[in-house]
Amino acid sequence: MTYILQLVTAGLAVGSVYALIAIGIVLIYKCSGVVNFAQGAFVMMGAYLTFAASRLGLPPVLAVTLALVLMAGIGVLAERVVLRPMLKAPVVAVMMVTLGMLIMIRASCLAVWGPDPLAFPRIFPDGALELFGVFITYNYLTAGVLSILLSLGFLGFYRFTAVGLMQRCAADNPRAALAIGIHTSNQVSLAWAMSAGLAGVGGTLLATLNGLSLGLADIGLIAFPVIVLGGLTSLGGALVAGLLLGLLQSFTDGLLSPMIEDLLRAHTRIYSVGALQQVVPYALLVAVLLLRPQGIFGRKGSERL
């Protein structure tokens, strides 16, 4: 039982970071209709910027805040300079541009910080907390709690504030939003800023768990099964789906993989199934698209990736 609880806590911690990143993708899609494949690059760059700010001697909180602000600026820049001129371009062309941004940002980080993984500065205290026999490191605990708080805070902001209402109006019907005096283009810029900022914080939290490397950008690919599962346009769905996927990966790694390996060892010469948990998100993606294309929380008629 303790082992199961251990898997649950680890799954929720990682899943909450997935959710944070996926919420950013959904936000951009709702407000600007763009499927942003560069979100993984924003995640990675946020972590590198926190790293750089820490190297300058800033305390962790300031380093993360500075990275968040810089990432928000990069988000606005990406929207204004790259995406806005492509407003009337075909969807596929816009998707290709976001892929291009992913490659460019990754190449820039490679040029500045090199290809090797870097030791990420310690942001959270060492050690672990024991709760009902379950050990959870402060890293996992803080990353999980912070991600969930940020996600809930963001959902609350979107649901209950005037700016959130303007964002929802611009996403629902830009023509009507204009007519009631909402600067729709500013709302789109704000969505990109918030999305990139969230991704930057998510990247920092992931780096505290898994270390800092260019591979952090791959998280963007895991976020896509999350948003398909949650429904492409549902922010709450992205949160729940992120947590579900984290749990699923944790249980696959801790329970399913060893069971399958035992079975294979008994009957075949295969001894390992490798990182099966890496495959799970995409298997889930295919299953969801086949069985419930609108995702768990999406409505029929929502566009699919």
Partner 1 sequence: MLAVNDVFAVYDGAITALEQVSLSIGPGSLVALLGPNGAGKTTLLKAIVGMLPFERGEVTAGDILFEGASVRGCHPAVVSRRGIALVQDGRQCFRELSIAENLRAASLVSRQGAADRFEMVLHYFPFLKEMLDRPAGVLSGGQLQMLVIGMAIMSKPKLLMLDEPSLGLSPVMVQSVFDVVERLHREAGLTVIVAEQTVPRLLKLATDVYVVSRGRIVMHAPPSEMTEERLQRIYLN
**Least CB distance from residue 303 to partner 1, whole Å?**
14
Q: Note the residues at the interface with partner 1 (CB under 8 A).
A: 162, 165-166, 168-169, 172-173, 175-183
Q: Name beta bridge partners: 118.
A: 212
Count of other CB atoms within 10 angstroms of residue 116: 8
The two three-digit tokens of residue 147, written as one number: 């991600």
Least CB distance to partner 1 at residue 117 (A): 43
Residue ranges of E strands in the chain: 128-131, 134-137
Q: b vs e for 203-234, b when ≥16 Cβ sit within 10 Å of the residue's Cβ?
A: bbbbbbbbebbbebbebbebbbbbbbbbbbbb
Closest CB to partner 1 among residues 61, 162:
162
Q: Which is nearer to partner 1, 101 or 191 (CB)?
A: 191
Nearer to partner 1, 177 or 206 (CB): 177
Give 88 or 269: the residue with its C-beta nearer to partner 1.
Answer: 88
Neighbouring residues of 69: CB distance < 8 A, sequence distance ≥ 6: 197
DSSP 8-state symbol, 78:
I
Main-chain phi, psi angles of 137, to 5 degrees: -70, 155
* Cβ 85 to partner 1 shortest distance, Å: 15
Residue number, 168 or 292, with CB nearest to partner 1: 168
Distances (CA, A) of 216 to 91, 105, 220, 296: 26, 12, 8, 27
| Smallest separation (angstroms) from partner 1 to the CB of 165 | 5
Q: How many CA atoms lie within 13 A of 230 on its CB side?
A: 30
- Rounded to the nearest whole angstrom, what is the least distance from the CB of residue 124 to partner 1 in the complex? 39
Q: Rounded CA gap, 76 and 157, in Å?
A: 19
Give the residue with the Cβ less far from partner 1, 57 or 181.
Answer: 181
CB of 288 to partner 1, least distance (A): 22
* 36 vs 216: CA distance, rounded Å: 16
Q: 160 vs 271, which CB is nearer to partner 1?
A: 160
DSSP state, residue 89? S
CB of 184 to partner 1, least distance (A): 8
